[in-house]
């Protein structure tokens, strides 16, 4: 019983450690790259979204260990790309903000790396118990829940920023209208006063 409990706790801790999103700031006219070393056949999934900066867009590029471009997107605000590693080695994924000359971008991203094909084959040969199957299902469910929570937090952050920006613009426009209205009022008073003013003829 204690052995099964330890397996569950170990699986849960590995899930929490393996599923994490990162926030990075990509300066204007700059590029940030990250690297993962994986084996051939490993499933990889890159999820990203722009949290702040400019028009909320960025260039994305994924390059294999042989220098081959696996995926390339321009001016994307969010996306998810899943692929299987075609060779052993280091895979590079970059976020480029070179199209911007002044505005930095804040990017939230997550590279989820599955188990290698060899590990899955060895795991399939071993006899799996009902508890192990339940742990795998729990792992997938927790991964989905955590990613959804992080996505919703980011969307809330973006919408809050938009609302605050809109509110500040409304306040500034209202202040501008009030100034114009006061100026027009004094202008009309001055004009009417001059219109009805009695001029003396010398």
Rounded Cα distance, 30 and 1, in Å: 54
**pLDDT, position 20:** 58
Identify whether 16 is part of a domain. yes
Look at residues 37, 18, 162, 27 and name the one whose alpha carbon lies nearest to residue 107: 27
Tokens for 126, please give them.
Answer: 């071993």
Identify whether 188 is part of a domain. no
| Count of the separate structural domains present in the chain | 1
**pLDDT, position 199:** 58
Look at residues 79, 105, 108, 93 and name the one whose alpha carbon lies nearest to residue 26: 105
**pLDDT, position 64:** 94
Identify whether 9 is part of a domain. yes
26, pLDDT greater than 90: yes
For residues 9-30, average pLDDT:
65
Identify whether 177 is part of a domain. no
Identify whether 25 is part of a domain. yes
Q: How confident is the model at residue 68 (pLDDT cuts 50, 70, 90)?
A: very high
pLDDT digits (tens, 9 = 90+) for 119-150: 555 555 554 678 877 887 787 778 778 777 87
- State which residues form the domain around 32: 2-157
Q: Give percent of the chain above pLDDT 70.
A: 81
Q: Which CATH number does the domain housing residue 39 bear?
A: 2.60.120.680
Identify whether 172 is part of a domain. no
Question: Per-residue b/e over 54-86, b at no fewer than 16 CB within 10 Å?
Answer: eebbbbbbbbbbeeeebeeeeebebeebeeebe
**pLDDT, position 117:** 57
Rounded Cα distance, 177 and 180, in Å: 5
For residues 51-74, average pLDDT:
91
Identify whether 190 is part of a domain. no
Identify whether 66 is part of a domain. yes
To the nearest whole number, what is the mean pLDDT of the chain?
Answer: 80
Sheet holding 89-96, edge to edge: 31-38, 89-96, 58-63, 69-76
């Amino acid at each position: 019983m204690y052995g099964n409990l330890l397996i569950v706790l170990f699986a849960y801790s590995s899930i929490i450690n393996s599923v994490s999103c990162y926030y990075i700031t990509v300066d204007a006219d700059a590029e940030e790259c990250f690297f993962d070393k994986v084996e051939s056949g490993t499933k990889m999934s890159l999820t990203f979204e722009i949290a702040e900066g400019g028009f909320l867009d960025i260039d994305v590029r994924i390059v294999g260990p042989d220098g081959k471009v696996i995926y390339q997107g321009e001016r994307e605000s969010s996306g998810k790309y899943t692929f299987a590693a075609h060779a052993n080695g280091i895979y590079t994924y970059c976020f480029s903000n070179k199209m911007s000359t002044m505005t930095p971008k804040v990017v939230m991203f997550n590279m989820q790396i599955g188990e290698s094909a060899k590990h899955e084959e060895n795991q399939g040969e071993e006899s799996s118990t009902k508890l192990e199957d339940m742990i795998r299902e729990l792992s997938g469910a927790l991964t989905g829940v955590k990613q959804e929570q992080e996505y919703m937090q980011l969307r809330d952050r973006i919408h809050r920023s938009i609302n605050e920006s809109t509110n500040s613009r409304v306040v500034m426009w209202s202040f501008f209208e009030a100034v114009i209205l006061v100026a027009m009022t004094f202008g009309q008073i001055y004009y009417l006063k001059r219109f009805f003013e009695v001029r003396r003829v010398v």
